[in-house]
Amino acid sequence: MAFDIGANVGYYARLMARYADHVYAFEADPNNFRILEQNCKRHKNITPINMAVCDTVGVMDFFTVANSAMRHSLIDEGNTKKISVSATTLDAFIKERNITGVSLIKIDVEGAEPRVFAGMRELLAKEHPVVIYEGDDSEAKAISDSGDIIKASDATRWGSRKKVTNLVL
C-alpha cells in the first residue's frame, strides 16, 4: 500500500503503482486532479482522491498559483487565488477505510509537509512506512544521485528554494 500526497498529475503515483498493490493519489487542485484522473485511468491499482492531506479534517483554504500547474499549497506564497478544498488527515483516511500495510508515502505539498506529518502520527507509529518528502530538514536522510542513503545536508540541492528530497526510514 502506498500514498502519493500532492500527486499533481500522477507521475509518481504511476511509478509507485508498478510495485505497490494499491496507491492512493491525493491532489487538492481541481484542475490538476482532472489530469491525474485521466493519467491514472489505465492503472486499476491507483485511486485518485481530490482532497488535501494535512492535520485537519474539513474544508480548508487552498492557494493556486497564477499561470502555473505547480506550487499550489495550503500556504499562501503570494500571486495566488484562494479556493476551498476538502481536507483530511492520513490517520482519519486510513481509519475510515480500514487500510493496513502502508509501506511507502511520498509527500510534496509545497511547504505544508509538517502539517501532513502532524496528521499521520498514528500511521507512523504503527506501520513505520518509508516516507519520501520535500523539505529542508538537515537531520533527515536523503537519497543521493547514485542511490545511496546519505545525510540530507550532504545531498545535491535543486530547485529555486534549494530544497532536498528527504527520506524517513
Q: pLDDT value at position 158?
A: 43
Q: pLDDT value at position 20?
A: 95
Lowest mean pLDDT among 25-39, 72-86, 155-169: 155-169
Rounded to the nearest integer, the mean pLDDT of the chain is: 83
Report whether pLDDT(5) > 90.
yes
Q: pLDDT value at position 159?
A: 39
**Which residues, in sequence order, are CB contacts of 148 under 8 Å at separation 6+?**
none
CATH superfamily label, 2-135: Vaccinia Virus protein VP39 (3.40.50.150)
Lowest mean pLDDT among 28-37, 40-49, 96-105, 109-118: 109-118
Q: Nearest CA to 27 among 81, 86, 80?
A: 86
Q: pLDDT value at position 132?
A: 84
Do the beta carbons of residue 39 and residue 14 sit within 8 Å?
yes
C-alpha cell at 140: 533527515
Q: Which DSSP string corresponds to 51-104?
A: SEESS--EEEEEEEETT-SS--BSS--SSEEEEEEEEE-HHHHHHHHT-----E
Q: pLDDT value at position 93?
A: 98
The angle formed by the CA atoms of residues 126, 7 and 41, to the nearest 5 degrees, is: 105
Q: Per-domain residue ranges for the chain?
A: 2-135
Give the pLDDT confidence of 108-158 residue by residue, as tens digits.
887 788 889 899 999 988 988 888 887 666 566 665 656 666 666 665 554
Q: pLDDT value at position 120?
A: 93
Categorize the per-residue pLDDT at 15 as very low, low, confident or very high, splitting at 50, 70 and 90.
Answer: very high
**pTM of the prediction?**
0.81
Whole-number Å distance between alpha carbons of 53 and 99: 16
Categorize the per-residue pLDDT at 46 as very low, low, confident or very high, splitting at 50, 70 and 90.
Answer: very high
Give the pLDDT confidence of 75-85 residue by residue, as tens digits.
777 778 888 99
Higher-confidence residue of 164 and 1: namely 1
